[in-house]
Amino acid sequence: MASRELLETANVLLVDNRVRNRRGGGQIFADKLYDWLRSYTRFQIHYLNLTAVENHPINRYLLNTVEKYERILEKRSRNPIVRDLISISQHPLVRFRLNLETRCLRNRRYDLVICNDPLDLKMLIDGKPDVRKLVFILHDPESANILRGRWKRMQRIFDMSNIMREAISQYDTTLVALNKFDYNELQKTCAARVLLIHNGIDWGKFAPGPMSRKENLFLYVGRLEETQKNISLLIQSFYEMRRKDYKLVLIGDGPSRPLYEQMIKFYNLEGFVSLLGFVDETIKIDHYRRAKIFVTPSVSESFAATTLEAMACGLPPISVRNKGALDVINDGVNGYLVDNDASELTNRMLAIASNEDLREYLGRNALRTVREEFGDDVMRVKYLSLFASLLEDGKN
């Protein structure tokens, strides 16, 4: 184990290229890493991201423009990874911003670089800094597929598979998978060192509220994007429940919001489904504590962060099977896993809504799972131990 002094003298770069107007899971994760590292390295850590100039008028204009551009691209591509890469690689404002950040890396030397997005690796290759150790955290749900060359359609637009492989071959790289599926697949196909570190959450922030405040609410929290998040399935399943004593609340925003507004009108659910958009953290936590059941229909997640938040607040989760949810939900014990099928999802929603004892049983087990296995403190120790060991190895 490296000493605290070793970490304090390290020159560490944390890269986070946010090109959206709101913080997603990857950006929240990067901010968390930054806070942890800063407690050790003080001013030796460099945080290259758009958040640093978030309030600058030019940057606000850039982020707003990209958000509008995404809504146009939503209609052109059914593949969210392709769409994001088009927006990043072709929009002139984003290319200008990335080029500026790439220049910042030239002729620099870092003991450790930490990235969690494939485009961060492109910046490293183009900027050519002297990097002793590289940690790439596969936070994007399709990073492992990109690395294995599975996204053939995407290759015609932006050859991220070769970019990722070039970065891995060029630098002493450690890959961090967030779920067992990616970990096992990369162990078979990738020459780099691969580790498994699950995400965690802050128990002090996410905790159950009083049972007296519970309301008949189904809750979804996340980006409003159809191809990956699959929210039309949830709206359809809620309609098929035909339970007028329950309501559905969707927290978040995104390019597919107009689609869901149309569905709500089509099914005459205006009084039963609420689209709250982005809300403050306190309002989000309040809804976790007020709701009775959490539902996430996403078909692709590297790790189910909002599911963990809901479980930490005592909510039983229902999730479409994806590689992130499989590591968190034990079907029938602390929640339910369903196929991408409206009838199956409807039946599970009805089962929990109609049985208070079942709901409380699943909720208790969900809370126990998070507190025993997915705390921030566990994740913090694992990452800092990893960084320390790499820095110690780099000094030898």
For the stretch 189-211, pLDDT in tens is: 887 899 999 999 888 899 998 87
Q: What angle do CA 21, 286, 206 make, to 5 degrees?
A: 85
- 89 vs 170, more confident: 170
Q: Which residues on adjacent β-strands are paired with residue 201?
A: 375
Mean pLDDT of the chain: 81
Q: Which domains does the chain have, with CATH numbers?
A: 4-200+375-395 (3.40.50), 211-373 (3.40.50.2000)
Percent of the chain with pLDDT over 90: 44
Rg (C-alpha) for the chain, rounded Å, is 21
- Please return the burial class of 281, using the count of CB atoms within 10 Å of its CB with bins 0-12, 13-18 and 19+: exposed
- 106 vs 225, more confident: 225
Q: What angle do CA 28, 302, 338 make, to 5 degrees?
A: 120
Q: Which residues on adjacent β-strands are paired with residue 133?
A: 112
Residue 328 has a pLDDT of 96
- 288 vs 67, more confident: 288
Percent of the chain with pLDDT over 70: 74
Which DSSP helix (H) or strand (E) runs through 317? strand 317-320
369 within 8 A of 311, measured Cβ to Cβ: yes
Residue 394 has a pLDDT of 59
Return the number of other C-beta atoms located less than 10 Å from residue 266's C-beta. 10
Tokens of 189: 């196909």
Which DSSP helix (H) or strand (E) runs through 110? strand 109-115
Q: What is the DSSP letter of 195?
A: E
pLDDT (mean) for 64-93: 47
Return the number of other C-beta atoms located less than 10 Å from residue 78's C-beta. 11
Residue 391 has a pLDDT of 86
